[in-house]
Amino acid sequence: MKRNSYLLLFIFLFTTVYSQEQTDSGSPATMNGSLDQQFEYVLQKSNNFQEYKVVKKEHLLLLKKNSIDSSNRFKKELIAIKDQVAGHNQEVKILKDTLATTKVELEKLQSAQNNILFLGAPVSKTNYNLIMWGIVAVLLLLVFVILFQMKSAKSVAKEAKEAIDKMEKEFDDYKQKALEKEQKLGRQLQDEINKHKASK
């Protein structure tokens, strides 16, 4: 409503200023000019009677007709301007709705861009990076633990092999000594048997 009031005021001022400029510029007053020029023409062509002005009826009727025409033209222009303003308001409303929809879609896109699906749940990129680096750190730790255990197991296996080799060597030595002892005892027994036979 305020826009319409300002628009009417602007049209009125523009018409008045334009009419004054036409009158001030020295253009002759006539019934074909602006309303201001027509009033001026009627005043010029009217006669004086005491303190009154006597105006020709045809001039007065023509001035009335022209005033009504101007008023109707201004009304039509005002209606057209109102329609134009209503159209602009409708366009503004559509643009606002489009902007709101665009903002919602932009927020969705930003959310989708900033989030990553991890095990079916949306996770922010920062949290996703933290999870991934955490998994990598745990895997590296497991690799180091396994390598350490393998190194320990290798060391234990080496010690066990050395112990087995030592035991096998000691067993071989023991078998050799036992064999030598058995042979020695066998010879001694044979000597005793031979001695015993010889003594008989």
pLDDT digits (tens, 9 = 90+) for 116-170: 776 767 777 777 788 888 899 999 999 999 999 888 888 888 888 888 999 999 9
pTM of the model: 0.38
pLDDT in the model for residue 3: 57
Residue 23 has pLDDT above 60, yes or no: no
Helix, strand, coil shares, percent, the chain, to 5: 85, 5, 10
**Rg value, the chain, Cα:** 61
